[in-house]
């Protein structure tokens, strides 16, 4: 848990750096984080991809299966999204 | 399930579907410290199994009434990603996952010096990204490494490996096809330091003689896995040492 004082100090630091055109991790104002993309990571999934954006790491898998459509939309499929945080 | 079942899981020369011998483990790749936000983490690839484990703690136990006065509360969640198996698995915890979470926790509990951290909780999260049989064993192997990576004092690592019977022959480290098409599966978790078994389950039928042979095979498998676990942990600190010396 960060104390309110620490937050304010950090805020000031970020503002100071920004006025100099810099950021906490050493990037410039318009620089993006390093990005790495990869597909076909999970063999069991019909489709899968992984993205590494700085220290953010996200893995997505797609499964396709046959199911019964809802009775009010007999010609449409269903998409289910689940997020694991 | 539309996948065609192969007629033979083991050929005349005792070679298995993936080219392994009877007493051979699948190729294993282990990494520790893969996650930045967790206190400890590890990742294992055992054949086609891909499993990630994260450990948080020791930290204040929430909800507070769960805290134990004289030791840490160990919690464990085993979860399979919806895309980890052939037919999409609902992300909600299934009966199987709840049971595996419990047996994995019980397999790890004897290893942890829980009495060093009273009133805290140590939470282990195991995420199966891709499953191909023997995930409970791989999960125990990787979770014990994640605990060690979190710096939690332990009596030793826990290594786990399964043995079983397929087409009348005893085999080590069953994969999915062998598990489904075989006669018996015997998952074992073993602590080499204490020479103690922390998990032993059996699915199917074995004679007493076969059971003893399979158990010894599984112990041998655990020994090999223990070697890999130690190597991985040591390699991490060698890398850190080199970084400091630079």
Q: Is the pLDDT score of B1 beyond 50?
A: no
Question: Sign of the CA dihedral B211, B212, B215, B217?
Answer: negative
Of A44, A57, A61, the CB nearest to B86: A44
pLDDT at A4: 86
Would you say B149 and B191 are in contact if contact means Cβ atoms under 8 Å apart?
A: no
Cα B173 from Cα B27, distance rounded (Å): 11
Would you say B159 and B232 are in contact if contact means Cβ atoms under 8 Å apart?
A: no
- pLDDT tens-place string over residues B146-155: 999 999 999 9
Confidence of residue B5 (pLDDT cuts 50, 70, 90): low
Give me the percent of chain B exceeding a pLDDT of 90: 89
Of A46, A55, A82, the CB nearest to B36: A55
- Which three-class secondary structure string do you get for chain A? CCCHHHHHHHHHHHHHHHHCCECCCCCECCCCCCEEEEECCCCCCCEEEEEEECCEEEEEEECCCCCCCCCCCCCCCCCCCCCCC
Q: Using an 8 Å CB-CB cutoff, list chain B residues near A55.
A: 36
Mean pLDDT of the A40-51 span = 93
Contact between A43 and B36 using a beta-carbon 8 Å cutoff: no
Distance from CA of B41 to the nearest CA of A (A): 14
Burial of B118 (0-12, 13-18, 19+ CB in 10 A): middle
Counted residue by residue, chain B has a size of 246
Residue B154 DSSP code: B
Distance from CA of B207 to the nearest CA of A (A): 35
Contact between B86 and A65 using a beta-carbon 8 Å cutoff: no
Nearest CA in chain B to A60: B83
Cα B49 from Cα B26, distance rounded (Å): 10
A55 touches B: beta carbon within 8 Å: yes
A67 touches B: beta carbon within 8 Å: no
pLDDT at B241: 81
Mean pLDDT of the B218-230 span = 97
Would you say B126 and B145 are in contact if contact means Cβ atoms under 8 Å apart?
A: no
Q: Is the pLDDT score of A51 beyond 50?
A: yes
Of B35, B82, B85, the CB nearest to A82: B82
Distance from CA of B85 to the nearest CA of A (A): 6
Would you say A37 and A51 are in contact if contact means Cβ atoms under 8 Å apart?
A: yes
Distance from CA of B171 to the nearest CA of A (A): 24
Cα B108 from Cα B60, distance rounded (Å): 20
Contact between A84 and B79 using a beta-carbon 8 Å cutoff: yes
Q: H-helix or E-strand containing B96?
A: helix B95-108
Residue A21 DSSP code: T
Side-chain half-sphere of B204: how many Cα atoms within 13 Å? 22
User: CA dist B14 to B123, B189, B209, Å?
Assistant: 42, 26, 20
Angle at Cα B231 formed by Cα B228 and Cα B233, nearest 5°? 110
Of B35, B79, B87, the CB nearest to A65: B87
Interface test with A, best of B60, B79, B81, B127 (most A CBs within 10 A): B81
CA-based R_g, chain A, Å: 22
Nearest CA in chain B to A62: B83
Nearest CA to B145 out of B108, B197, B172 is that of B108
Q: Is the pLDDT score of B2 beyond 80?
A: no
Contact between B81 and A61 using a beta-carbon 8 Å cutoff: yes
Average pLDDT, chain B: 94
Residue B87 DSSP code: S
pLDDT at B3: 54
Q: H-helix or E-strand containing B126?
A: strand B120-130
- pLDDT tens-place string over residues B125-153: 999 999 999 999 999 999 999 999 999 99
Q: Is the pLDDT score of B82 beyond 90?
A: yes
Mean pLDDT is lowest, of B25-39, B106-120, B143-157, B231-245, for B231-245
Distance from CA of B120 to the nearest CA of A (A): 17
> What would the DSSP string read from start to end of B202-243?
-EE---HHHHHHHHHHHHHHHHHHHHHHHHHHHHHHHHHHHH
- pLDDT tens-place string over residues A4-38: 888 899 999 999 999 998 898 889 899 999 999 99
Of A45, A55, A57, the CB nearest to B83: A45
Contact between A44 and B85 using a beta-carbon 8 Å cutoff: yes
Would you say B131 and B80 are in contact if contact means Cβ atoms under 8 Å apart?
A: yes
Mean pLDDT of the B210-219 span = 96
> Across the strands, what pairs with B105?
none
pLDDT at B8: 85
Confidence of residue B171 (pLDDT cuts 50, 70, 90): very high
Q: Is the pLDDT score of B19 beyond 50?
A: yes
A48 touches B: beta carbon within 8 Å: yes
**What pTM was computed for the model?**
0.89
Would you say B187 and B160 are in contact if contact means Cβ atoms under 8 Å apart?
A: yes
Q: Is the pLDDT score of A1 beyond 70?
A: no
A59 touches B: beta carbon within 8 Å: yes
What are φ and ψ of residue A37, in 5° steps? -120, 150
């Amino acid at each position: 848990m960060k104390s309110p004082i620490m937050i304010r100090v950090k805020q000031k630091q970020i503002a100071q750096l920004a006025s100099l055109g810099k950021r906490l991790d050493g990037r410039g104002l318009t620089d993006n984080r390093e990005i790495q993309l990869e597909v076909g990571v999970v063999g069991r999934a019909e489709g899968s991809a992984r993205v590494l954006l700085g220290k953010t790491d996200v893995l997505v898998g797609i499964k396709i299966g046959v199911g019964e459509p809802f009775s009010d939309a007999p010609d449409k499929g269903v998409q289910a999204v689940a997020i694991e945080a | 399930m539309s996948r065609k079942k192969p007629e033979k899981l083991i050929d005349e020369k005792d070679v298995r579907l993936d080219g392994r011998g009877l007493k051979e483990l699948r190729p294993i790749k282990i990494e520790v410290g893969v996650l930045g936000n967790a206190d400890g983490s590890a990742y294992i690839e055992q054949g086609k199994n891909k499993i990630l484990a994260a450990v948080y703690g020791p930290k204040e136990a929430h909800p507070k009434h769960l805290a134990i006065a004289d030791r840490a509360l160990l919690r464990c969640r085993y979860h399979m990603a919806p895309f980890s198996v052939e037919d999409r698995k609902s992300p909600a915890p299934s009966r199987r996952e709840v049971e595996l979470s419990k047996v994995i926790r019980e397999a790890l509990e004897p290893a942890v010096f829980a009495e060093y951290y009273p009133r805290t909780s140590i939470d282990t999260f195991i995420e199966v990204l891709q499953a191909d049989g023997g995930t409970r064993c791989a999960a125990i192997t990787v979770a014990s490494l994640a605990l060690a990576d979190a710096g939690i004092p332990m009596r030793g690592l826990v290594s786990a490996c399964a043995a079983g019977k397929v087409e009348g022959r005893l085999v080590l480290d069953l994969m999915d096809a062998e598990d489904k098409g075989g006669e018996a599966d015997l998952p074992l978790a073993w602590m080499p330091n204490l020479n103690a078994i922390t998990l032993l389950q059996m699915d199917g039928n074995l004679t007493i003689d076969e059971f003893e042979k399979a158990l010894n095979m599984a112990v041998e498998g655990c020994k090999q896995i223990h070697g890999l676990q130690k190597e991985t942990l040591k390699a991490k600190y060698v890398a850190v040492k080199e970084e400091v010396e630079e």
